Amino acid sequence: MSATLRLGDGLQVEVIPGQSGQEIDVQATSLALQQRVRQMAGGEVPVVIRESEPLLTDLSAAQARVQAILAGPITLTAPDAGPWTIAPETLAEWLILRPTTGADGGATLAASLDPGHATAFVQEIAAQVAISPTNAEFRFDEGAGVLVPVVDSVPGRSLDVTATLSLIESAATGGHERTVPLPLVPVRPALANEDGPALGIVELIGEGVTRFAGSTASRVQNIIVGARQFDGVIVAPGEEFSFNHYLGEVTAEKGYEEGIIIWGNTTRADVGGGLCQVSSTAFRAAFWAGVPVTERWPHAFRVAYYEPPLGMDATIYSPQVDLKWVNDTGHHILIETAVDEANKTLTFRYYGTNPGRTVEIDGPHEANPVAHGPAVYRDDPTLTKGETRQIEWAKDGLDVTVYRVVKENGVETRRDTFFSRYRPWQAVFLVGTK
């Protein structure tokens, strides 16, 4: 039996000495048996026994190494967090002993820490000390024609897990310093203050404006909250802008209120009603910037807020219905939004570098008008008898085509088609029966 190590009271490492043993010499016994069979002789065949020496005999070095590992706690420190302590009892649970060849060529045991347990422990610490970087936020100063940071960037940090594991192993087996400063790695923001001049944001390249006069207070609130999600967004060269991505969740917790939305062949109240004012304005800015529009959906019927001109609206309904465009200018694009409550206007401005293009509109071209049907009257027990309230306004159906003509150096390089088919819409009145 080979020598082994055992943890006694107080985590003291004890050596259980090896002992010589006996084992059957299978080959010799088999040969003796075969010979007896060939001789056709009966009788007993003695089993050949040989002495066996233990594989592991001297574990003094392994004993000393394990005792050093368990000599005390290991403490991990960070400037503004922790400390975290690995107790000797925990180190004992992590301990792994493997047979190996010693310096003298004899067999011994190598002691180390289980990387699985250690990694799980360090990853928990990594989540606690990690700090996400803060990107810089910019505004474009049209007077000076420069980009100005309005929110400074702040570096983040992460923990080098691999280096931490190595430091823990060294502290456990080195026998000296058992306090380990964590190797924290700075994480640079994706957009730092000093990046501003290199972004190529030097001029206005596209602007969209819509009016929301006549909107309810809840609709105006939703426009304000929705537009705020896009103010300061920077779209990198080649990046596809997704309206729904930057809009995020539309919930009451984010400040949205119930408003009217288009749903199939009717309208209904829903949280966020009015956000299509925001998407339609963003679409118009993209239209005049000349960037490729990769997804745009018209409304089911004509909405007065988005006219004139006809055919320049864009509906959204996350996550299925989106507005998307690609930044093909070769430079970054900064989006700025402005809600003018006094004049009831919403404005989207795209700043960047105009790659020498001009944009013209051809249209709108109208076709296939369809007259709306007669008004619909619905009983409403919440209204007093004799009271009538209009909730839908009649609209004729119409096909509308708008062409965007993009020119570079006066030469047409692209003609984009935006087609809208608006269904006829009946007027709807609620009639009181209360």
163 and 111 in a common domain: yes
Q: Is residue 57 part of a domain?
A: no
Is the domain of 251 the same as that of 394?
A: yes
What pLDDT, on the 0 to 100 scale, is given for residue 204?
97
Task: Give residues with Cβ within 8 angstroms of 315, minimum separation 6.
Answer: 262, 276, 279, 280, 297, 298, 299, 300, 321
pLDDT at 392: 75
Q: Are residues 159 and 234 in the same domain?
A: no
Alpha-carbon distance of 12 to 7, in angstroms, equals 6
pLDDT for residue 112: 74
With a cut of 50, list the residues of the chain below it in pLDDT: 259-261, 263, 268
Predicted pLDDT at 93? 84
pLDDT at residue 430, rounded to an integer? 84
pTM recorded for the entire structure:
0.74
Judge residue 23's burial from the number of C-beta atoms within 10 Å of its C-beta, 0-12 exposed, 13-18 middle, 19 or more buried: exposed
Structure tokens at 382: 């919440």
User: What pLDDT does residue 59 have?
Assistant: 57
In terms of DSSP H, where are the helices of 47-134?
60-69, 88-94, 115-129
The residue count for the chain: 434
The last residue of one of the domains, among 139, 164, 187, is 187
- Tell me the C-alpha distance between 373 and 396, whole Å: 9
Domain range for 97: 70-187
Task: Say if 122 falls within a structural domain.
Answer: yes
Q: Based on the domain organization, do 294 and 152 belong to the same domain?
A: no
Query: For residue 405, what pLDDT is reported?
Result: 97
Same domain, 301 and 422: yes
82 inside domain: yes
Cis peptide preceding 79, ω within 30 of 0: no
Write down the pLDDT at residue 293: 98
Based on the fold, state whether residues 145 and 261 are members of the same structural domain.
no
- Quick count: other Cβ atoms within 10 Å of Cβ 20? 10
Residues 216, 289: one domain?
yes
Number of independent structural domains in the chain = 2
In a domain, 5, yes or no: no
Of 135, 163, 187, the residue at which a domain comes to its end is 187
For residue 192, being part of any structural domain is answered with no
pLDDT score of 265: 52
Say if residue 244 is in the same domain as residue 130: no
97 and 237, same domain (yes or no): no
What is the predicted pLDDT for the residue at 273? 73
pLDDT of residue 257: 74
Residue-wise pLDDT tens digits, 90-115: 888 888 777 776 665 566 666 778 88
Cis previous bond, 88, omega within 30: no
Instruction: Find the angle CA(278)-CA(281)-CA(285) to the nearest 5 degrees.
Output: 135
Q: Note the pLDDT tens digit of each residue in 375-405.
A: 889 888 888 998 898 877 888 899 999 999 9
Q: How far is CA 415 from CA 26, 65, 310, 361, 406, in A?
A: 89, 77, 18, 10, 6
Domain at 178, CATH number:
3.10.20
Residue 332 lies in a domain: yes
240 and 181 co-located in one domain: no
> Given this model, what pLDDT does residue 4 score?
66
The DSSP bridge pattern shows strands 376-380 and 428-432 to be: parallel
The letter for the amino acid at 402 is V
147 and 205 assigned to the same domain: no
In a domain, 12, yes or no: no
303 lies in the same domain as 216: yes
Q: Is 44 part of a structural domain of the chain?
A: no
pLDDT confidence of residue 181: 93
